[in-house]
Amino acid sequence: MNRSAVTPHLGWPGTASTSAPGLGWPAPQSSSPPGAVASPPTTPSGVSATTEAAEDAPATAVALDALRASDDASDDASDDASDDPGDAGNGAATAADVSRETTTGRRVRALPRPNQPRVMVVANQKGGVGKTTTAVNIAAALAQRGLKVLVVDLDPQGNASTALSVPHAEGTPGSYQVLIEGTPIDDVLVECAEVPGLFVVPATLDLAGAEIELVPMVARETRLRRALDTHLAESLEVDDAYDYVFIDCPPSLGLLTVNALAAARELLIPIQCEYYALEGVSALLRTIDQIREHLNPHLVIGAIVLTMYDGRTRLAAGVAEEVRRHFGAVVLKTAVPRSVRISEAPSYGQTVMTYDPSSAGSMSYLEAATELALQTEDLA
């Protein structure tokens, strides 16, 4: 059974006349959104996306290789400095070049910082595609690389709070108080104990009723945006600005998700490499058009992450190919594989980045986070 026999079955009825057969989405725009990286190849890269030859790899892959090479150089320089303290000023890496030690004990080069905080909403109408997993693991990977990161948990289930080991029992101050009571974010902020530099606004079951409570409120769609803008401005005033903000949404397109879309500047969309996930993205794109028209005209798709990729199946390859064909450069080259370690980590109140740093899942999210950060360098 060849791939051509599989791919046509990924689409929906009545979409044969569209420019992207099988998906039913509008024709891709000629220009890439801000933050797009170099166009990746059609074939998904699986766990490690940057092991191809440099002459065949896109610019982002080459940059990833260069970053890893610089990590090794920093390690060697640090070793030389520790052997001969007198030569530290000559051969050791500078403090600006090297971040703190990761959980593996290896010192790595810090990633480039954006000129202003990148506020990204992690959303997909389809549940079970890896929204929360992607949000917390990419956030943890960026924080481990020396960046300051904020995660806003807007899902009443509080799974992001669980994965980051942040208390979120009923009554705990969190995103509900921010949205409904107007509590400043600084009053509910908690730093993740496992990952210094990673801050969390927790979510509790109280959020389950927030959808109804928001209905009669004035400017109900922009309450999160006002609170977040105020917090980011205050952080900037004290010279302690955030680099990234990730807003984790529930698997629906209700008022909570609308608040997140109105507050964000970019979308980070996890897409599971299965057919049903494509339907969720199609519905999300229609909602994005409405948000742009009425609430947030500057919202763009910053990145798409392929999750739960299984290289043994033709379906996964077909879905990945369809997504890359339509969205092009915004699809990260790294595809996150199915991993038992990724699933186990939240039960220990950890991300996979701290639970098993050497696992395939951890390395994939580190690669994805690095690609995301290198978008900032490309725009500089």
Neighbour-count burial for 323-360, b at 16+ CB within 10 Å, e otherwise:
bbbbbbbbbbbbbbbbbeebeebbeebbbbbbbbbebb
**Residue ranges of the domains in the chain?**
14-53+114-379
Tens digits of residue pLDDT in 57-66: 344 444 455 5
Q: How confident is the model at residue 326 (pLDDT cuts 50, 70, 90)?
A: confident
Binning pLDDT at 50, 70 and 90, where does residue 144 land? Answer: very high
pLDDT recorded at residue 340: 92
Percentage with pLDDT > 90 across the chain: 47
Q: pLDDT-derived band of residue 54, with 50, 70 and 90 as boundaries?
A: very low
Containing 76, the helix (H) or strand (E) segment is helix 59-83
Query: What is the token pair recorded at 158?
Result: 């509080």
Q: Which helix (H) or strand (E) holds 98?
A: strand 98-101
Q: With bands split at pLDDT 50, 70 and 90, how would you rate the model's confidence at 125?
A: confident
Degrees to nearest 5, angle at CA 171 with 169 and 176: 100
The CA angle 236-191-157, to the nearest 5 degrees, is: 110
Q: Does residue 12 register a pLDDT over 60?
A: no
pLDDT tens digits, 290-319 = 999 999 999 999 999 999 998 888 888 888
CA distances from 366 to 43, 108, 231, 377 (A): 20, 12, 27, 17
pLDDT tens across 160-215, in order? 999 999 988 888 899 999 999 999 999 999 999 999 999 999 999 889 889 899 99
State how far Cα 137 lies from the chain centre.
8
Distances (CA, A) of 354 to 71, 176, 361: 19, 28, 11
Tell me the pLDDT of the chain averaged across its residues.
76
With a cut of 60, say whether residue 152 has pLDDT above it: yes
3-state secondary structure of 190: strand
Judge contact between 253 and 287, C-beta under 8 A: yes
241: confidence class by pLDDT, cuts 50, 70, 90: very high
pTM exceeds 0.85, yes or no: no
Q: How many helices (H) and strands (E) does the chain have?
A: 13, 10
How far is the C-alpha of 325 from the C-alpha of 316, rounded, in Å?
14
Where residue 354 falls among pLDDT bands split at 50, 70, 90? very high
Handedness of CA 208, 214, 215, 220 (dihedral sign): negative
SS3 172: coil
Say if residue 38's pLDDT is above 50. Answer: no
So what's the pLDDT on residue 278?
Answer: 75
Report d(CA 204, CA 185) in Å as an integer: 15
Q: Give the mean pLDDT of 3-13.
A: 40
Considering only residues 224 and 91, tell me which one the structure prediction assigns the higher pLDDT: 224
What is the CATH number assigned to the segment(s) 14-53+114-379?
3.40.50.300
What b/e sequence results for 265-276 when a residue is b if at least 16 CB atoms lie within 10 Å of its CB, and e otherwise?
A: bbbbbbbbbbee
For 173, phi then psi, to 5°, come to -60, 135
**Strand-strand pairing, 98-101 and 107-109:** antiparallel
Task: Report how far residue 329's alpha carbon sits from residue 324's, in angstroms, rounded to the nearest whole number.
Answer: 8
Tell me, what's the pLDDT at 377? Answer: 53
Q: Give dist(CA 206, CA 210) in Å, integer.
A: 7
Q: C-alpha 301: how far from its chain's center?
A: 12
What one-letter code names the amino acid at 219? A
Half-sphere exposure of 350 (CA within 13 A, CB side): 15
User: What digits encode the pLDDT tens for the residues 72-91?
Assistant: 444 444 444 444 433 333 33
pLDDT tier, 219 (very low <50, low <70, confident <90, very high otherwise): confident
